């Protein structure tokens, strides 16, 4: 028998095991290739206005993906070879030279890897079209997607995976040299001892988790610098990882042990079997659980954050640039030119046009406010009311004497109670003037320009002040269907740059936000799906390996009179526990991460976080549920025949 025919017979005989390994390789390659070809896709790059940021995002993500994918391949490789140790031992026993066995494994892995690569690239080319379609849809661009194949993507994918395949092949070659014959034979039945519960490490697990949660959610200090960020979140991440691991290793173990002491519960039906089986298995699964919980947490957390950003983009753009077009009036000529451009765009008819006079003055508050005040911008009451009406807002100011209303500075979370009853002293050229705050409104009428501190005062007072202080006039326009004013916005942007810190046109602000958010959403969604699929598969395979190991136990149970349906229920309960434990911890972690994220970008996200988080968690649970059903079904088929 030649080496080749032996290898061929091997593959035929162990087809199922080979198939699983093969599929996980193909899966990794498809994912990587799809992602890389999106990165290189010209259609996508052309249709986007912030290409630099995009390439950077893609680069970071594809690097993360690469790390993840290679770990996954190494994991399935070791899973695959562990199952074959006995077979290799047998060859050795029958007199095959170590070198020959090594070569056998080397070529086997190499050929399988190369075939997987070809299949992966073919499937990946089809999938990348689908995903680029999704991405372009999300961004709201109208680019055409044709079926061009990116050679750069093929080259990069091939290069990366040939290296990985070579490494796993060499590992295969070395396998036979690494172990003694006796070890190869005992690989499958290493006696497990009942592990001991340690109260101390359980306590440590809980304490570490609590500390890391606290570090993550605590509010920022007054001075926020990079050192604080690195230290605080570096430490909390470290604690979170160790804490999670200890949690699975010791805390759940300890809790299950505690359940065991409750005889009334423990000695009831199949609980006896379920609980002790779980206790036995939990240590071996602790690392897998940790990885899954952390990955789920990161994915749910960041996906929700980006989804919220995407979801709330329109609102957040409206907040930053309330009117469709805005500019500072500099001279008659330019004002006229701008008006003409806007009027020419008949599809987007002008709904309202306003002049907003603003007087910037120096002021001092009667109390400490953690916000840069000067110059304070004054707006007359009637103009504010008109603008609010044009923007369909409900605020309406009726002021008299020295009463004033603050407009909530954007990106802050001040409440009316912070201002009501307090004073501001304005330093005017002639004298000083004291204004009394009677309310705080939400909703500015001009584009964001730091410091964003506007005060609405009565028309009479405003007229008095403008007698000896010049007012700037801003011209603003609100048009129909402002989310589609691409051309006009483009023309105006060229003319009106630098009037504000944000864009002068609503459309540009909106579109940029949408693209950025869509890209983040896509990347996190993509990575999330990959993580989910991979971790789900890892759980699936781990459980099935276990099923093969504990088959004998269930035979005993059937022999002493446990019915098949009872065994099925017991299996379902155990698998449910195995699947829900890391998921629940992952969800709890992700909520903590979300609190951190909302802390970090506060009002930027703006709109409701509830719908995105429910969507993300539901999607997660659904996909996991499918894996759960699949695993329970196959497990039952293995042990309960």
Partner 1 sequence: MKTILEAKRVKKIYGTRGNVFTALEDIDLSVQEGEFVGIMGPSGAGKSTLLNILATIDEPTSGDITIDSSNITDMSEDTLAAFRHDKLGFIFQDYNLLDTLTVKENIILPLALAKTSVTDIAQRLNAVARRFGIEPILDKYPYQISGGQKQRTAASRAIITNPTLVLADEPTGALDSKSATDLLETLKDLSSNDNATILMVTHDAYAASYSQRILFIKDGKLFTELIKGNKSRKKFFNKILDILAALGGEANDII
Q: Which stretch in 16-24, 31-39, 211-219, 556-564 sits in contact with partner 1 by CB under 8 A?
A: 556-564
Joined together, the tokens standing for residue 170 give 């060499």
Q: Which stretch in 129-137, 277-285, 318-326, 530-538 sits in contact with partner 1 by CB under 8 A?
A: 277-285
- The Cα–Cα gap between 554 and 537 comes to 24
Joined together, the tokens standing for residue 180 give 């003694």
Instruction: Kindly state whether residue 639 participates in binding partner 1, applying the rule CB under 8 A.
Output: no
150/574 with CB nearer partner 1: 574
Long-range residue pairs from 631-637, CB within 8 A, at least 24 positions apart, any chain: 631/539, 631/540, 631/543, 631/544, 631/575, 631/579, 632/571, 632/572, 632/575, 632/576, 634/540, 634/544, 634/547, 635/543, 635/544, 635/547, 635/571, 635/575, 636/567, 636/568, 636/571, 636/572
Instruction: Kindly state whether residue 242 participates in binding partner 1, applying the rule CB under 8 A.
Output: no
Q: Which of positions 192-211 make contact with partner 1 (CB under 8 A)? A: 192-194
**In the chain, how long is the greatest CA-to-CA distance?**
107
452/546 with CB nearer partner 1: 546
262/432 with CB nearer partner 1: 262
Q: Are 479 and 345 in contact (CB under 8 A)?
A: yes
169/636 with CB nearer partner 1: 636
CB of 187 to partner 1, least distance (A): 18
Q: Which of positions 48-107 make contact with partner 1 (CB under 8 A)? A: none
Interface residue with partner 1, options 189, 263, 346, 494 (CB under 8 A): 263
263/494 with CB nearer partner 1: 263
Instruction: Kindly state whether residue 272 participates in binding partner 1, applying the rule CB under 8 A.
Output: yes
Q: Which stretch in 28-36, 143-151, 348-356, 555-563 sits in contact with partner 1 by CB under 8 A?
A: 555-563
Instruction: Kindly state whether residue 568 participates in binding partner 1, applying the rule CB under 8 A.
Output: no
228/267 with CB nearer partner 1: 267
- Reference 290, options 242, 236, 254, 235; nearest CA is 242
Residue matched to tokens 């007012």: 471
Please state the length of the chain.
641
Q: Which stretch in 175-183, 261-269, 316-324, 383-391 sits in contact with partner 1 by CB under 8 A?
A: 261-269
CB of 570 to partner 1, least distance (A): 10
Coil/strand/helix, residue 617: helix
Interface residue with partner 1, options 23, 562, 595, 611 (CB under 8 A): 562
Instruction: Give burial (CB, 10 Å; 0-12/13-18/19+) of 466.
Output: middle
Interface residue with partner 1, options 20, 116, 117, 279 (CB under 8 A): 279
Long-range residue pairs from 558-561, CB within 8 A, at least 24 positions apart, any chain: 558/640
Instruction: Kindly state whether residue 252 participates in binding partner 1, applying the rule CB under 8 A.
Output: no
Interface residue with partner 1, options 14, 270, 483, 580 (CB under 8 A): 270
320 phi and psi angles, rounded to 5 deg? -80, -35
CB of 577 to partner 1, least distance (A): 15
CB of 288 to partner 1, least distance (A): 19
Q: Are 446 and 383 in contact (CB under 8 A)?
A: no
Instruction: Kindly state whether residue 190 participates in binding partner 1, applying the rule CB under 8 A.
Output: no
Strand partners, 433: 426
Q: Are 535 and 292 in contact (CB under 8 A)?
A: yes
Instruction: Kindly state whether residue 396 participates in binding partner 1, applying the rule CB under 8 A.
Output: no
List interacting residues with partner 1 (CB under 8 A). 191-194, 263-264, 266-273, 276-277, 279-280, 553, 556-566
């Amino acid at each position: 028998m030649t080496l080749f025919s032996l290898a061929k017979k091997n593959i035929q005989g162990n087809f199922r095991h080979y198939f699983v390994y093969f599929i996980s390789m193909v899966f990794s390659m498809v994912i990587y290739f799809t992602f890389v070809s999106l990165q290189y896709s010209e259609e996508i790059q052309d249709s986007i206005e912030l290409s630099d940021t995009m390439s950077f995002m893609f680069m970071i993500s594809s690097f993360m993906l690469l790390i993840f994918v290679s770990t996954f391949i190494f994991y399935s490789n070791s899973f695959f070879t562990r199952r074959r140790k006995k077979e290799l031992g047998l060859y050795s026993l029958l007199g095959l030279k170590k070198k020959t066995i090594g070569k056998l494994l080397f070529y086997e892995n190499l050929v399988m890897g190369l075939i997987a690569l070809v299949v992966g690239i073919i499937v990946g080319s089809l999938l990348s079209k689908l995903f680029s379609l999704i991405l372009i849809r999300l961004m709201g661009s109208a680019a055409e997607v044709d079926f061009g194949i990116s050679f750069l993507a093929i080259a990069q994918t091939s290069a990366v995976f040939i290296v990985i395949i070579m490494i796993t092949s060499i590992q295969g070659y070395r396998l036979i040299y690494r172990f003694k014959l006796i070890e190869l034979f005992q690989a499958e039945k290493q006696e497990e001892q009942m592990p001991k519960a340690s109260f101390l490490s359980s306590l440590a697990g809980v304490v570490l988790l609590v500390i890391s949660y606290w570090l993550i959610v605590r509010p920022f200090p007054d001075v926020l610098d990079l050192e604080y960020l690195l230290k605080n979140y570096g430490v909390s991440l470290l604690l979170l990882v160790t804490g999670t691991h200890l949690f699975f290793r010791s805390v759940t173990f300890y809790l299950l042990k505690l359940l065991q002491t409750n005889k009334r519960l423990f000695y009831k039906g199949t609980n006896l079997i379920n609980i002790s089986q779980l206790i036995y298995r939990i240590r071996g699964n602790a690392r897998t659980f940790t990885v899954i919980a952390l990955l789920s947490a990161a994915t749910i957390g960041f996906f929700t954050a980006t989804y919220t950003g995407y979801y709330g983009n329109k609102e957040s753009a409206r907040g930053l640039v309330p009117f469709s077009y805005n500019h500072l009036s500099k001279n008659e000529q330019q004002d006229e030119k701008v008006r003409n451009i806007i009027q020419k765009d008949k599809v987007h008819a002008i709904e309202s046009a306003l002049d907003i006079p603003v007087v910037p003055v120096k002021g001092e508050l009667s109390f400490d406010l953690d916000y840069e005040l000067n110059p304070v911008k004054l707006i007359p009451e009637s103009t504010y009311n008109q603008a609010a009406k044009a923007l369909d807002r409900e605020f309406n100011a009726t002021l008299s004497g020295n009463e004033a209303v603050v407009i909530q500075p954007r990106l802050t979370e001040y409440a009316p109670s912070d201002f009501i009853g307090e004073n501001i002293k304005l330093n005017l050229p002639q004298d000083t003037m004291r204004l009394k705050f009677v309310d705080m409104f939400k909703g500015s009428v001009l584009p964001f320009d730091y410091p964003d501190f506007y005060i609405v005062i009565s028309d009479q007072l405003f007229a008095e002040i403008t007698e000896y202080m010049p007012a700037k006039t801003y011209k603003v326009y609100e048009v129909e269907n402002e989310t589609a004013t691409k051309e006009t916005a483009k023309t105006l942007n060229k003319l009106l740059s630098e009037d504000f810190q944000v864009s002068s046109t609503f459309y540009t602000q909106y579109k940029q936000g949408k693209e950025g958010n869509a890209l983040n959403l896509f990347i996190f969604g993509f990575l999330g799906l990959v993580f989910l699929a991979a971790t789900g598969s890892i759980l699936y395979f781990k459980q099935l390996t276990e099923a093969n190991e504990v088959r004998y136990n269930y035979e005993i149970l059937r022999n002493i009179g446990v019915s098949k349906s009872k065994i099925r229920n017991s299996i379902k309960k155990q698998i449910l526990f195995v699947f829900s434990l890391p998921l629940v911890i992952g969800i709890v972690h992700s909520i903590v991460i979300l609190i951190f994220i909302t802390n970090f970008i506060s009002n930027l996200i703006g709109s409701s976080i509830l719908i995105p988080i429910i969507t993300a968690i539901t999607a997660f649970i659904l996909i996991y549920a499918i894996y759960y059903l699949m695993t329970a079904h196959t497990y039952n088929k293995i042990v309960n025949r």
